[in-house]
Amino acid sequence: IDGRRYSLNDIEHNIIRPFGDARIHFDLVCAAKSCPPLRTEAYDAARLDEQLDEQGRIFIQNSEKNSFDFEEKKAKLSSIFDWFKEDFEKNAPSVLEFIARFLPKEQAAQLRAEADAFEIKYKDYNWELNDVAS
């Protein structure tokens, strides 16, 4: 770019993450089985917020990646929420409150109201290649 060489790591961590929108963690993925799914369409500036929110809903509501037991007040989350906790907490008071915006209304309200009572565990990350087309 403009005569400079950038690695994908440079682009993610030194250019995109500093913008401060934690939703990028649902979009810039390495295609491992535990990653959020790759989009089947290009990102479009006119629809970017909508597309980022959709990726968040798809990833957070996938029970293989993230699960919530509202009776027991337990959450099993993707390790992405542990690794990039500071990014999510720049966008909300806590990781769970950030996540709440991507859940169905009733679950979101309950998670926001009881976020401090939830026990969080992070799932082991499966780095195997996700070769399944969605």
| DSSP letters spanning 28-48 | S---BTTSPPPPSS---GGGH
pLDDT of residue 29: 85
More confident residue, 127 or 132: 127
Residue 133's pLDDT band (cuts 50, 70, 90): low
Distance CA 14, CA 129 (A): 25
Question: Is 131's pLDDT higher than 80?
Answer: no
pLDDT score for 94: 96
Contact 33, 126 (CB under 8 A): yes
pLDDT of 134 higher than 60: no
* Residues whose CB falls within 8 Å of the CB of residue 57, separated by 6 or more in sequence, listed in order: 102
